[in-house]
Chain A
Amino acid sequence: MPESLSINGQLLFAGLAIGSVYALVALGFVMIFRATNVVNFAQGEFSMLGAYFLFTLWHGLKLDYFAAIVVALVIMVGVGLLFEISIYYPLRNRTFLPVIIATIGASIMMQNGALAVFGPSPEKVRPVVETVEGTGGITLAGVFFDYQYVIILLVTVLLVGLQYLFFEYTILGKKMQATSQDKDMARLLGIPVAYMIALTFIYSSLLGGLSGMLVAPIFFVTHKMGATLGLKAFAATICGGFGDVRGAILGGLALGVIESFGGAYISVIYKDGFSFLVLILFLLLRPQGIFGEKVAEKA
């Protein structure tokens, strides 16, 4: 049955591509969580903002597409820093509950701020590779490989690779790792902890922004796009094992594929529900995720 094979191949490819966007956003979660033990419920909004900045610069200010991406990323640096200063820093010595709630507050603020500024109508952004007939791509073995999807996959692989090299082979990377493992010890060793944490937030914001720009041509750009992305990325992180980079990537890809197949074979309407069902199952049966270790509270 070559036809069903190619349909399944198509579904798999689409799932992996969307999954790798989840993985990118999830990486942002993991970075912040490892550095600060804070779960940033506004992570998805970074993606939304990234997409809107790109849209404004490219469509509104008529900048060159690639120049617009660079400028938008620079703005994302500011967003990440502002977020760290206004949300994380005042609450750094409080328990997790106030911090979670504050990041939820920030998420509502950004979402509705975007709604107020850009309005409710969805906007469209061009794909990275623009062809005359619209979507470019190549067909291999009956499966159509959309360029945008291919690029998303490539960017994810590239970023994960760079991140690995950064943490393993640079002093700055080691310092950031040290900060995430033991802040007090890192401080005693002369590592500027506050600066490292600010860097982490900036990096997360960049990851989020970039993922938003990459999915912008596939989904429409709306003020709600970040909420869905963020929640699914968070679900991916939990399934993979919280705080684990491999887990975030694997979890993201798996959720993308599950959604893609679930939407095709079970129900399109409830497509968005699948990842959450999978998540609840995971939480009940294996709360530590695929790679996570069981943690017990010390008495």
Chain B
Amino acid sequence: MTSHDVNDRTTPIRTWFKPGYLALALGVVVVVLLPLLFTSRYTTNLLILGASWGIATLGLVVVLGYTGQISLAQAAFYGIGAYAVALGTTRWDVNWWLALILGLAGAAIAGAVLGTTTLKLGGHYLAMVTICFQIIYTLINTNWIAVTGGPDGISNIKRPPFVFPLNTAQRYAWFALATLCLVGGLVWWLRDTPLGRAMRAIRENELAAEALGVDTRRVKVIAFVLSAVIAAVGGAIYASGYLYISPDSFNFDHAVAFLAMVLVGGSESPLGAILGATLLTFLPEWLRDLKRIYLVIYGCAIILVIVFMPEGLWGYVRLAGRRFARKLALPSATRALQVGERGAAGEEILRVEQLAKHFGGLKAVDGVDFAVRRGEIHALIGPNGSGKTTIINLLSGLYVPTAGRITFLKRDIVGLRPSRIAHIGMARSFQNLRLFRELTVWENVLVGAQREESREAETQQHALAAIEFAGLSDKAQELCRNLPYGHQKLVELARALAGEPDLLLLDEPGAGLNQTEKHELVRLLKRLNEMGLTILIVEHDMSLVSSVASSATVLNFGKKIAEGTAAEVLRHPAVVEAYLGNREVALGV
């Protein structure tokens, strides 16, 4: 093996064909050509309009396409950018670029406010809040005449000082299109960064993302801020392009138009967004006769796209491009999975005291004590409804206990967010699979591996090690939703292991597996245990439990009824009774 090969392994893993590279080249050509081809004042203005709308739409790629949060307030942020430049260059008389920065800051603050209000909310509520935000913006924009100039708008807006004067529409069109390409490139680049991955993980399964260590609140606010700032850039480009603005250009209709653009084009792809924006900018102009009903067509397009092509136009382009894409195998890991030997074997790493969780009158967990020692596999068993999964949820921070203490690695973790607990060193799997279905196996495991402080190369090595350990190397580039159930379970395991935790919580890892797969699971668990990993396992298959677990705690109706070594507790009369019923009662003795 040459040293060259070794170096290759540490470079980021990519497929050799990314539509993005092609697009970059195309983008440069388009930027140069378009303003030369369309020279009439009218079409040049349309180019500028299309570019500015395209930028605003790119903001939606971040918030809707990547993060999965609907926003119908994009026109408000677009307006904030436009008004900053308009007011800055006409009334306050500051440099255009300074005005732009002020506008971006204003949009960022507004975006953060909107993002923060969305933390407790999702779905319908979120759609509603963003609509409210947009409507309140429009009301202020129209009625606060002293500042915004009211319905009359603002005229005589100046153009930005630049390396060459942007005094003609053609020159400004170049500037606008170049900005569009730049923003598009940034959004495209964001997709595969740790932040972009975290965003897409939230879109696929917010709960799982949080449990794996993604600070979902922070990432969601960042997504809204980024989207707002991007929209404001678009607004600024628009204001200086048309030299005159009025509130009509920033109302709810435009927010809807931006949404239509991103959906028609394909919300997960920056190129799709630009495609959508271009199409919906020019289409009404081409269908001049239909101008009166072009919004009807918008509405219709939204419905048709949602029903018939959920991935938008770009989905088809990608489908066609797949023919040329060759998936590269992952390089082999340069380090083994490191999950043990971080402390003395036998020391207590988890202590649970008087833990209780009540749901209304139901006492799901009712004063349970137990401890897990480093290096052991501890089983948590009990009949259905005995509170096992509730305890896993309490330990990983998804539920806040009604009472009791949880000490993990000498820290009190009650009340910490799941992502914090994951960072301290606890990872988990879910009873019902919670994979990021539209992400590849590789990306799933990367999300599990990434930590805020670690570098990407390091994250990739952790992920590679976990994938190799689970034997998923040849499936790494597959989308999770395309895998069979058994493999999906393995991906969950690999994803949890990639964070190299001190304690692994497994919630029914054997459920739904056939005998061969269960043997493989037992083998993996034993190997992990030999490597020194501590595991807390909830499982119904007693043969699986007795073959891997060294100790066990038995629950029934939220209370502990037995504990000891696995072999002991399985013979314990109370345990037998809990599982099989009382023999005397059954026999009528």
Contact = CB atoms under 8 A, between A and B. Distances in A.
Does chain A bind chain B?
yes
Interface of A: 39, 41, 86-87, 90-91, 94, 96-98, 100-102, 104-113, 115-116, 227, 231, 234-235, 238, 242, 269-270, 272-273, 276-277, 279-280, 283-284, 287, 296-297, 299
Contacts of B298: 105, 108, 112
A98 B306 contact: yes
Contacts of A100: 70, 123-124, 127
A284 B293 contact: no
Closest 6 CB pairs of A and B: A105-B302, A109-B299, A108-B299, A112-B295, A276-B132, A39-B124
A110 B131 CA distance: 18
Contacts of B303: 86-87, 102, 105-106, 109
A101 B136 contact: no
B306 A91 contact: yes
Contacts of A104: 72, 127, 256, 259, 302
A226 B144 CA distance: 26
A273 B296 contact: no
8 contacts: A91-B307, A108-B253, A108-B295, A112-B295, A115-B295, A273-B136, A280-B117, A299-B431
A110 B430 CA distance: 44
Interface in B282-327: 292-293, 295-296, 298-303, 306-307, 310
Contact of B296 (A101, A102, A109, A299): A109
B428 to A, nearest CB: 9
Contacts of B125: 238, 283, 287
B129 interface: yes
Nearest to B114: A280
A238 B303 CA distance: 25
Nearest to A41: B127
A297 B123 CA distance: 13
Interface in B423-444: 430-431
A273 B135 contact: yes
A108 B299 CA distance: 5
Contacts of B253: 108
- Give the dominant DSSP class at A's interface: helix
Interface in B349-397: 389, 392-393
Given A101-B306, A299-B398, A269 B299 contact: no
A81 B129 CA distance: 29
Given A39-B124, A100-B123, A231-B131, 6 more contacts: A90-B307, A98-B306, A108-B298, A276-B136, A287-B121, A297-B207
Contact of B310 (A87, A98, A105, A116): A98
Residue from A90, A100, A111, A234 whose CB has the most chain B CB atoms within 10 Å: A100
Contact of A113 (B129, B293, B398, B431): B293
Contact of A283 (B68, B129, B299, B393): B129
Nearest to A108: B299
Given A112-B296, A287-B121, A299-B398, A272 B302 contact: no
B263 interface: yes
B136 A112 contact: no
Contacts of A113: 293, 296
Interface in B118-155: 120-121, 123-125, 127-129, 131-133, 135-136, 139, 143
B581 to A, nearest CB: 28
Given A277-B136, A287-B125, A299-B398, A102 B120 contact: no
Contacts of B299: 105-112
A111 B68 CA distance: 27
Contacts of A109: 295-296, 299-300, 303
A97 B70 contact: yes
B430 to A, nearest CB: 7
Contact of B124 (A90, A96, A110): A96
Contacts of B307: 90-91, 102
A269 B14 CA distance: 56
Nearest to B134: A276
A108 B120 contact: no
Given A106-B299, A235-B132, A276-B135, A269 B143 contact: yes
Contacts of A234: 128
A87 B300 CA distance: 11
Given A106-B303, A269-B143, A272-B139, A97 B128 contact: no
Output the residue of A110, A227, A276 with the most chain B CB within 10 A: A276
B128 A238 contact: yes
B131 A97 contact: no
A60 B121 CA distance: 46
A284 B430 CA distance: 30
B83 to A, nearest CB: 18
Given A97-B123, A284-B117, A116 B293 contact: yes
Nearest to A276: B132
Contacts of A299: 207, 211, 389, 392-393, 398-399, 430-431
B120 A279 contact: no
Contacts of B207: 297, 299
A116 B253 CA distance: 16
Given A113-B293, A276-B135, A287 B120 contact: yes
Nearest to A271: B139
Contacts of A96: 123-124
A90 B310 CA distance: 12
Nearest to B123: A96
A284 B143 contact: no
In this complex, the member of B135, B207, B303, B393 whose beta carbon has the largest number of chain A beta carbons within 10 angstroms is B303
Contacts of A105: 260, 298-303, 306
Contacts of A115: 292, 295
Nearest to A284: B117
